[in-house]
């Protein structure tokens, strides 16, 4: 009997489909249904026994199932009655998708009920902040409601072929989100969904400026829904920097208000461009906790379809728990940001600080080992870019050192920086 929380008929149907179908039928079931989602004890144990046979590439039949059952479950009685009922319930393995749908939906409803109960309990705990409670609930749902992570080689092959056909159809265009810098895009193939990229530098090198440039390219030029999270500057300050960059209005003039009529026209035009783009801002004035940030990312993805998240900067985010060492806290934050990128499907771009050791050797390009506070950032990141220039010069050449790429080459990208407008550009474009 099926109800909202218990799909017993579908559980019997699932077992029947496995018993009357092929090894491929069983593989399809395993890819969709977790064992713990089956509520009937004998059917859950049967499902695990079938899985064991399948992994050994053995025939799925009642005699073989009985032998494997005794091996796995000892003296527990063999549920022949349930197995016969399962084969009666399932007239054809072709009905498997319907059984899977019923079991998954019931499991999701049980998890929703559990989460509701958890919210009620945790809301009464004074030591827990509301944003932490919400984050716990959202994270729990995203994990518990996810499907089986194991895939057959056949399924992976199909996905691979689909991806290659898609890339062939693009004729060499980017697979990821553009950064706005041609050479950087060529080397990285853009910022990839479900991955975390890092841009690291010492203070006053231009991390925020290049992050804003990438946000502009993605949101204004490519119309990619983008969320810019700043933990150092207000959203108004970020907007002002973007106006200076796009409109070519000196930052000093915008700050002082000493604007000509031409500056006013340029400012208005740049403001209109930004205002009409799918770009959202969040600053750290309300909260800088990892729980709050991940909760806001989930909501932005859900409400606005955000595909790119830019965070300025990673080491400013507070971990959920105070750790003995700062490196442990940064490692926790880094890991959770990578997880949220994978879970929500966004491209994550995080700014990060380099440590002071980088400044001791004058003229040395930054290295991966210069990442401040934690080597875990390097391990979590799919791509690490190190920004370098002479901070004493308000205008001049800058270098992006691509120090790590999981699926691409490392190397150097040359850019030009103009501090008057807080703007990076391709070398030769604005020099």
Q: Is the pLDDT of residue 364 over 50?
A: yes
Unique residue bearing structure tokens 């944003």: 131
Categorize the per-residue pLDDT at 262 as very low, low, confident or very high, splitting at 50, 70 and 90. Answer: confident
pLDDT at 421 over 50: yes
Does 143 or 305 have the greater pLDDT score?
A: 305
Give the residue-averaged pLDDT of 107-122.
83
Q: Which two tokens mark 333?
A: 């934050």
CB 215 within 8 A of CB 230: no
C-alpha distances in Å from residue 274, one per residue of 313, 330, 406: 22, 32, 33
Range with lowest mean pLDDT among 102-106, 179-183, 393-397: 393-397
Identify the sign of the CA torsion 50, 54, 60, 65.
Answer: negative
Going by C-alpha positions, the residue among 233, 230, 197 that lies closest to residue 386 is: 197
- Structural tokens at position 114: 């559990």
CB 398 within 8 A of CB 172: no
Torsions phi, psi of 238, nearest 5? -60, -45
What Å distances lie between residue 148 and 34, 383, 424, CA to CA? 6, 27, 44
DSSP letter, residue 205:
S
Q: Domains of the chain by range and CATH?
A: 8-113 (1.10.860.10), 175-426 (3.40.50.300)
Distance CA 64, CA 408 (A): 48
Write out the DSSP string of 174-198. -SSB--S-HHHHHHH-SBPTT-EEE
Is residue 26's pLDDT more than 60?
A: yes
Q: What is the C-alpha to C-alpha distance for residues 95 and 93, in angstroms, rounded to an integer? A: 5
Q: Which residues are CB-contacts of 426 (< 8 A; sequence separation ≥ 6)?
A: 181, 182, 183, 415, 416
User: Can you give the pTM of this predicted structure?
Assistant: 0.65
Q: Provide the CB-side half-sphere exposure for 50 (13 A, CA).
A: 30
At residue 45, the pLDDT reads: 92
In tens, the pLDDT along 69-98 reads 988 888 888 998 998 899 888 877 888 888
Task: Give the Cα separation of 268 and 255 in Å (integer).
Answer: 15
**Whether the Cβ atoms of residue 250 and residue 420 lie closer than 8 Å to each other:** yes
**Greater pLDDT, 137 or 236:** 236
* Dihedral (CA of 39, 40, 44, 47) sign: negative
């Amino acid at each position: 009997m099926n109800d909202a929380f218990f799909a017993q008929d579908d559980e019997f149907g699932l077992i029947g489909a496995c018993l009357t179908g092929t090894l491929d039928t069983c593989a399809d079931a395993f890819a969709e249904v977790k064992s713990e989602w089956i509520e009937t004890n004998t059917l859950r144990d049967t499902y695990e026994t079938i899985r064991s046979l399948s992994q050994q590439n053995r025939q799925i039949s009642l005699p073989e199932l009985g032998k494997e059952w005794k091996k796995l479950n000892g003296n527990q009685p063999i549920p022949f009655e349930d197995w016969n009922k399962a084969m009666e319930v399932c007239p054809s393995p072709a009905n498997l998708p319907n059984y899977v749908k019923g079991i998954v939906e019931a499991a999701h409803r049980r998890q929703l009920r559990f989460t509701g109960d958890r919210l009620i309990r945790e809301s009464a705990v004074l030591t827990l902040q509301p944003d932490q409670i919400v984050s716990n609930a959202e994270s729990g749902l995203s994990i518990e409601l996810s499907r089986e992570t194991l895939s057959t080689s056949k399924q992976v092959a199909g996905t691979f072929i689909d991806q290659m056909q898609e890339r062939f159809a693009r004729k060499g265009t980017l697979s990821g989100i553009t950064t706005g810098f041609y050479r950087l895009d060529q080397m990285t193939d853009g910022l990839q969904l479900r991955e975390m990229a890092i841009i690291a530098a010492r203070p006053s090198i231009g991390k925020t400026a290049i992050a804003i440039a990438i946000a502009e390219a993605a949101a204004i030029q490519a119309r990619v829904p983008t969320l810019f999270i700043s933990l150092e500057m207000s959203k108004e300050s970020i907007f002002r920097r973007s106006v200076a960059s796009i409109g070519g209005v000196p930052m000093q003039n915008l700050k002082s208000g000493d604007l000509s009529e031409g500056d006013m026209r340029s400012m208005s035009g740049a403001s209109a461009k930004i205002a009409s783009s799918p770009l959202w801002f969040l600053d750290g004035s309300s909260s800088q906790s990892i729980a709050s940030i991940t909760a806001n990312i989930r909501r932005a993805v859900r409400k606005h379809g955000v595909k790119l998240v830019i965070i300025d900067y990673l080491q400013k985010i507070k971990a959920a728990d105070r750790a003995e060492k700062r490196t442990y806290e940064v490692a926790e934050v880094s890991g959770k940001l990578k997880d949220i990128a994978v879970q929500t499907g966004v491209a994550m771009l995080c700014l990060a600080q380099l440590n002071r050791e980088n400044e001791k050797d004058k003229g040395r390009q930054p290295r991966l080992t210069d990442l401040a506070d934690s080597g875990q950032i390097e391990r979590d990141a799919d791509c690490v870019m190190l920004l370098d220039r002479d901070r004493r010069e308000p205008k001049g050449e800058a270098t992006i050192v691509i120090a790590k790429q999981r699926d691409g080459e490392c190397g150097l990208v040359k850019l030009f920086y103009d501090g008057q407008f807080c703007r990076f550009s391709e070398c030769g474009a604005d020099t």
